[in-house]
Structure 1
Amino acid sequence: MAQPTCFHEADPLLALHRRALAEGLGTLLLVLAACGGGLAAAHDFAEPGFVPPLTALSIAGALVALIVAFGPVSGGHFNPLITILQWLAGERPRGCMIAYVCAQIAGALAGGLLAAALWRASPGTAGHGGWGGFASEAVASAGLMLIVFGCARGRRTNAGPFAVGAWLIAAIVATPTASYANPAVVVGTLASAGPVALAAGAAPAFILAELLGALVAFWLVYLVFPQRSVSQ
C-alpha cells in the first residue's frame, strides 16, 4: 500500500460515483465562497481595494476546509488542472479523470448560480480582461500546481491544504487577474455575479492560460521532485 499523501484519496477503490460526488460538492462550495465572498465585499465596503484581500480570505479559508473535509474521499482537487496532471503522470485512471472533471464543472456552475441567487444579484462582470490576463493566469496556475504537487510528492499530508490556502492568499492579492487558476472556477463565474464574475469572452483566454501554466508546472515538477508510484 502506498504511503498516504495529500491530493490522493485514502481509498482509490471507493466507488467512483462517491468520489466524483465529493469533487462536485467541494467545487460547488468553493465557487460559492469565491463568488459570494466577492459579492459580500462589494456590498459591505465602498472602497474597491477591500475586495481582493477579503475575497482571498474567503476562497483560501473555504479551500483549506474543503480539502481537509473531502480529501480522504476524493483527494480534494476541486480543480481540473490537478486531476488532469495526475492523469498525465499516471497517478489516476482516465475514467476517473473524466468523471472528476465533469463533476467539478457541474459543481462550479451550481455554485456560481447559487451565489447569485443567495445575494439576489444580477449578472455582472469583473474588470479582468481576456487575453490581457493571459500571463497572469498562466503564472498563477503554474505556481498553484507547483505547491500542490510539491506537497504531494513530499508526502506533506497534513500541510498540503494549508500550503495551498496560503499560496492562494498571496496569488490573489499579487496577480492582476486575482488568480482564478482553475478552469472550473472560471466556468462557474460565468453563471454568477459580482467582482469575481467573468464575461464569456474572457473564459477561453483564462482557461488556455491555466492549462499552459499547468503544463509548465508539470515539467518543472519532474525536474525538481522525484517520481512517486501510486497503486490504483
Structure 2
Amino acid sequence: MVDLSRRIAAEALGTALLVATVVGSGIMANRLTHDTALALLGNTIPTSAILVVLITILGPISGAHFNPAVTLVFALRREVETNSAGAYVLAQVLGGIAGTFLAHAMFELPVLQLSQTVRTGNGQWVAEVVATFGLVLTILAGLRARPDSIPWLVGLYITAAYWFTASTSFANPAVAIARALSNTFAGIRPADLPGFIVAELLGAIVAMALAGWLLASPKSATSIMAQPPGLMRD
C-alpha cells in the first residue's frame, strides 16, 4: 500500500485540480457566452473530462476519492482506516479551496470571494441526494463489475447528472465548500452549504446500503446444502 503522506497529497492535488476545472471552466464559459444552457455545457464537459484523467492517474495512489462522501462510504465499509479517512477529508477540503483560489488567480479575479448564488429549497436538496446516491452507486457497482472502467463511468455519470439534477450535481461536500468561496458561475452561497452537505451525505449512505444488498454475492447451491439442518430455511 502507498504510504499515507502520498495518498493525502494525491487527494489534495486531485481535489484542487477538480475544483480549479469546475470553477475555471465556469468562469470561461460565462465570459464566452450569455446563453446559460451553453455555459452549463461548457462547464459540464471539462469537469467530466478532468475526472476521467484524475481518477486514472491518481487512483492507483489514493483510490481517487476527491470527495468526503465517497471517503465516508469506504470508511463505513472498513476499506479505509478511520485516521486515514479523516486525513483524506481534510486534504480534500483544503485542496478544493486551493483549487478555487487557483482558478480566480488564472482569470485575474479577486482570490478571496464569497458566493452570492442562492441554491436552496426542497428541489435542490432532493437533487443532491439523488446526485450523490447515483455517484456512489456507480462507484460501488463499477468496482464490482468493471473496475478498470471506473474513470469513464464516473465521468459519464457526472456528465448526465449535471443535466438531469436540479442542482447540477455538486455531489461532493469538499467541492461545495470550495465553490462557496467563488462568486462566479459555479458558486453556492455559504448559507446554503449545510443543506447541500447533509443531502450529499444522506445520498451516499443510502447508496451504500442499497449496494450492500444489491451487489451481495449469491449463495451457491453447494454452500446452502452444506449448512447444518438447523440453519436451513424454507
Q: TM-score, normalised by structure 2?
A: 0.87
Q: For residues 137 and 157 of structure 1, what CA distance do their matches in structure 2 show?
A: 25
2:126 aligned to which of 129, 132, 135: 135
Q: How does 1:60-209 map to 2 (within 5 A)?
A: 60-121=48-109, 123=113, 124-129=115-120, 132-154=123-145, 156-209=146-199
1:98 deviation in Å?
0.8
Contact 1:130 1:202 in 2 (8 A): no
- Aligned partner of 1:38 among 3, 12, 26: 26
CA contact (8 A) 1:130 1:201 kept: no
User: Does the 8 A contact of 2:123 with 2:166 survive in 1?
Assistant: no
TM-superposition CA deviations, 1:58-92 (whole Å, max 9, x none): 11001110000101100111111111101101111
Render the CA deviation track for 1:141-191: whole Å, top value 9, x for unaligned.
00000001111122x232110000000000001111100000000011112
Question: Is the 8 Å Cα contact of residues 118 and 189 (structure 2) preserved in structure 1?
Answer: no
Cα distance per residue 1:42-65 (max 9 Å; x no partner): 010121111222211111001110
Counterpart CA distance in 2 for 1:173 and 1:95 is 36
State the match for 2:225 in structure 1.
Answer: none
Alignment CA distance shift 1:80-1:102 (3 Å): same
Q: CA deviation at 1:193?
A: 3.1
The number of residues matched between the two structures is: 214
Query: Displacement, 1:207?
Result: 0.3
For structure 2, the residue ranges without an aligned partner over 5 or more in a row are 218-234
CA distance, structure 2, for counterparts of residue 128 and residue 90 of structure 1: 34
Q: Percent identity?
A: 35
State the TM-score, normalized to the length of structure 1: 0.88
Distance 2:42 2:118 in 1: 17
- What residue identity is the alignment partner of 1:94? T
Q: Which amino acid aligns with 1:162?
A: W
Deviation at 1:127, TM superposition (A): 4.8
1:39 is matched by which residue type in structure 2?
I
- Structure 1 segments of 4 or more deviating over 4 A? none
Q: RCO (CA 8 Å, sep 6+): is it higher in 1 or 2?
A: 1
CA contact (8 A) 1:81 1:182 kept: yes
Structure 1 gap segments, 5+ residues each = 1-11, 228-232
Amino acid at match of 1:134: W
Q: Does 1:20 align with 2:8?
A: yes
